[in-house]
Structure 1
Amino acid sequence: IHCVAPTVWAWGAWRRHRVAKSVDGLLCLFPFEPEWFEPLGVKTAFIGHPEAFNPAYDAPRRPDPASAPHIVMLPGSRRSEIRHILPPMLAGFEMLRDSFPEITATIPTLPRIADSIEASCAATASAEAISIDQDEGALFRALGSGHAVLAASGTVTLQTALYGAPGVACYIAPALSAAIGRRLVSMDRVILPNALLGREVYPFLFQERASAPALAGAMRQVLSDAEAGRRAANDAEDLRKMLRGGAGSFEAGVVEAMADWLGPPSR
């Protein structure tokens, strides 16, 4: 029995045939995953996603809508990502200051990459308006005061959507990686909240579309939309219901699936 299905729905659909030959059962984190494997004779069960059970999402803090705009920038967790994604994010932030002179930003990050982020921010004219938080709990602390997020694609977009933060997603990769990605990756499924809800929770700007002016324009639109926060809160509620799968906890979902297959645990 294998827990966590390979993301064949995003790229490499052919991999599901290998999975079908090597497992008796598959525990899935997303509700649409069983349909990828059941036609191949794989016994599957949707068990919910552990992130959805985080109590931080049940009563998220919200910034004062009347306060000066504050955004959360999430340029990724790898140095290679930061090298490509953070510069246009910072340049876009400087452009946003033309429309919102009092705007500020926080970059929650990890200690191992904080030095790279600090150096990049220090080299900009907006350094004094950007704070960097590398302490434990940085992400949720930042989201609690942010009016919008500008996030690199990845699991973090699921976290920000579950929290109910409106915003924009983006990604920039080396040219060769981007070319390969365009051939192998289903771009409409890259941003998990979009794929799960079947609607655009976060607009996704990829590669040449993720220029500084484009990022600034997309964020300007979010910050100027009085309904963005309400829609994001509704999206968050829909995601939590979907990804909890009716179970009281992630562990309960696993136990229920295993009991259906193997019988109740012995006492």
Structure 2
Amino acid sequence: MHSKKKIFVIAGEISGDQLGATFLNNIKKSKKVELHGIGGSKLLKLGLIPIFNMDRISVMGLIEVIPKIPELLFLINFTIKKIIEINPDLIITIDSPGFNFRVLKKLNKIKPNLQNIHIVAPSVWAWKASRAKSISAYVNNLFVLFPFEKKYFIPHGIKTHFIGHPLVEIIKSNNNFSNNYKKKYISIFPGSRRFEIINHLELILGSISEVSTNHDYLVVAVENHISLIETIIKKYKLNKLIKIIPRSRKEEAINNSILAIAVSGTITLELALNKIPFFTVYKLNFLSYFFLKNLVFVKYITLVNIIFNKQIVPELIQKKFNKDNIKKYLFILLKKEKDYKYQLEKFKELENLLKNNNKLPSYLASNLIKKILEIRK
């Protein structure tokens, strides 16, 4: 009888946890695989045996990461130690390049023959294009989610596969836009990190308190930040107007929303595929933004806009993220049908761009993972 194959998974964000669970679900059903590593609730539900809590490596922003550097360095070394102990057949790292690539680079010097897959390409099309060459020294296989990404990595010898974006199969296709106008709520997605909520939610709530509308609001909250959000809502005396929905029930919020305000992230793609018009907001610490502004060479931060290479969704970044603009775009999406429908039509096109020959991403990913696992029988 063959022993189970061991896969060591590293997901450092909620979005990475969801991706990992989607791609590994079919493989785990076979009961021939054992999962170890770092992940969130969805990977844990699949049976992942964790080495520590995922939140410990979930950090964003150049300045925000500085106080956590000693702990992150410790966790990188601890993760490598656990990988060597577990001796997996395959390592799958998902996004979180700051942590994952340091693990893979150091591990490659110790166990150069250990196969790995990295899911979600680093955004070399946005900044530091040289990373495509540098990661080729320690990344064996790369699964990219967007069709335009392959061309950046193949010239450097990385086995690169466009698998499509898993959200196209998680989210049911809906092209019946007429129901949107009957929906009761405007949803607010203030981010999953504490600093994002603090940076964005107060200004959003201060703005909507000055807007007259027939719609109530839903704030979608990561469970461990609900008390923080409750405190901010009480400050603006909006308890009767706003309802908090835990992140685990975000589909309920999306399905009942006519439009949304979203902090930049994967949620913007979810809203687009659910055909919910929205505008994006984002504000970083001044120093983080100053450094990033000089490093990043893309026009947009919203994935929909990046894919189309034009502004489909309004973006309120840094100084543009202010009360006047929040109120302005709420008015536009609520009152100007042409702008509302324009987003809906583009979201319909987006769905086809995120599939590879109409095959489901989980099917392509699981087949590739199985083939790579068979290399080390």
* Residue number among 285, 288, 293 corresponding to 1:174 in the alignment: 285
What pairs up with 1:27-46 in 2 under 5 angstroms? 27-46=143-162
Superposed displacement of residue 222, structure 1: 1.5
Between structure 1 and structure 2, the one with the greater Rg is 2
Post-superposition Cα deviations, 1:109-166, rounded to whole Å, max 9, x if no partner, equal 12101111111011114331111111632x2111112111110011111111111111
Q: What amino acid is aligned across from residue 157 of structure 1 in structure 2?
A: T
Q: What amino acid is aligned across from residue 119 of structure 1 in structure 2?
A: T
* Distance in 2 between residues matched to 1:82 and 1:195, nearest whole Å: 24
* Residue number among 136, 139, 153 corresponding to 1:20 in the alignment: 136
* Distance in 2 between residues matched to 1:214 and 1:135, nearest whole Å: 26
* Distance in 2 between residues matched to 1:2 and 1:89, nearest whole Å: 39
Q: What amino acid is aligned across from residue 186 of structure 2 in structure 1?
A: I
Post-superposition Cα deviations, 1:45-96, rounded to whole Å, max 9, x if no partner, equal 21111122114445789755256x6311111011111111111111121222
* Distance in 1 between residues matched to 2:123 and 2:139, nearest whole Å: 16
Q: 1:227 to 1:16 in 2, by over 3 A?
A: same
What pairs up with 1:199-218 in 2 under 5 angstroms? 199-218=310-329
* Distance in 1 between residues matched to 2:176 and 2:205, nearest whole Å: 27
Q: Please give the secondary structure, in 1, of the residue aligned with 2:133.
A: helix
Equivalent pair of 1:247/1:253 in contact (CA under 8 Å): no
Q: What amino acid is aligned across from residue 231 of structure 2 in structure 1?
A: A
Q: Please give the secondary structure, in 2, of the residue aligned with 1:106.
A: strand
- Higher relative contact order (CA closer than 8 Å, sequence separation 6+): 1
Equivalent pair of 1:47/1:257 in contact (CA under 8 Å): no
* Distance in 2 between residues matched to 1:72 and 1:39, nearest whole Å: 43
Residue equivalent to 2:125:
9
Q: Please give the secondary structure, in 1, of the residue aligned with 2:327.
A: helix
Equivalent pair of 2:125/2:298 in contact (CA under 8 Å): no
Superposed displacement of residue 211, structure 1: 0.7
Q: What amino acid is aligned across from residue 38 of structure 1 in structure 2?
A: I
Superposed displacement of residue 232, structure 1: 3.1
Q: What amino acid is aligned across from residue 47 of structure 1 in structure 2?
A: I
* Residue number among 191, 196, 220 corresponding to 2:307 in the alignment: 196
Equivalent pair of 1:63/1:146 in contact (CA under 8 Å): no
Q: 1:89 to 1:186 in 2, by over 3 A?
A: farther
Q: Please give the secondary structure, in 2, of the residue aligned with 1:201.
A: coil
Equivalent pair of 1:79/1:113 in contact (CA under 8 Å): yes
Q: 1:60 to 1:152 in 2, by over 3 A?
A: farther
Q: What amino acid is aligned across from residue 155 of structure 1 in structure 2?
A: T
Task: Say yes or no: does 1:120 pair with 2:236.
Answer: no
Q: 1:216 to 1:227 in 2, by over 3 A?
A: same
* Residue number among 213, 220, 242 corresponding to 1:108 in the alignment: 220
Q: What amino acid is aligned across from residue 28 of structure 1 in structure 2?
A: V
Q: What amino acid is aligned across from residue 113 of structure 1 in structure 2?
A: H
* Residue number among 231, 241, 246 corresponding to 1:134 in the alignment: 246
Q: 1:19 to 1:54 in 2, by over 3 A?
A: same
* Distance in 2 between residues matched to 1:16 and 1:87, nearest whole Å: 39
* Distance in 2 between residues matched to 1:135 and 1:173, nearest whole Å: 22
Superposed displacement of residue 176, structure 1: 0.9
Moved more, 165-174 or 249-258: 249-258
Superposed displacement of residue 204, structure 1: 0.9
Q: 1:104 to 1:27 in 2, by over 3 A?
A: same
Q: What amino acid is aligned across from residue 244 of structure 2 in structure 1?
A: I
* Distance in 2 between residues matched to 1:167 and 1:189, nearest whole Å: 15
* Distance in 2 between residues matched to 1:22 and 1:135, nearest whole Å: 35
Superposed displacement of residue 236, structure 1: 2.6
Residue equivalent to 1:70:
185
Moved more, 29-38 or 9-18: 9-18
Equivalent pair of 1:60/1:163 in contact (CA under 8 Å): no
Q: What amino acid is aligned across from residue 245 of structure 1 in structure 2?
A: N
Q: What amino acid is aligned across from residue 236 of structure 2 in structure 1?
A: T
Q: Please give the secondary structure, in 2, of the residue aligned with 1:72.
A: strand
Q: Please give the secondary structure, in 2, of the residue aligned with 1:254.
A: helix
Q: 1:135 to 1:33 in 2, by over 3 A?
A: closer
Moved more, 219-228 or 44-53: 219-228
Using the size of structure 2 for normalisation, the TM-score is: 0.62
Using the size of structure 1 for normalisation, the TM-score is: 0.86
Superposed displacement of residue 201, structure 1: 2.5
Q: Please give the secondary structure, in 1, of the residue aligned with 2:202.
A: helix
- Structure 2, gaps ≥5 residues long: 1-115
Identity %: 24
* Residue number among 199, 223, 226 corresponding to 1:84 in the alignment: 199
Residue equivalent to 2:256:
145
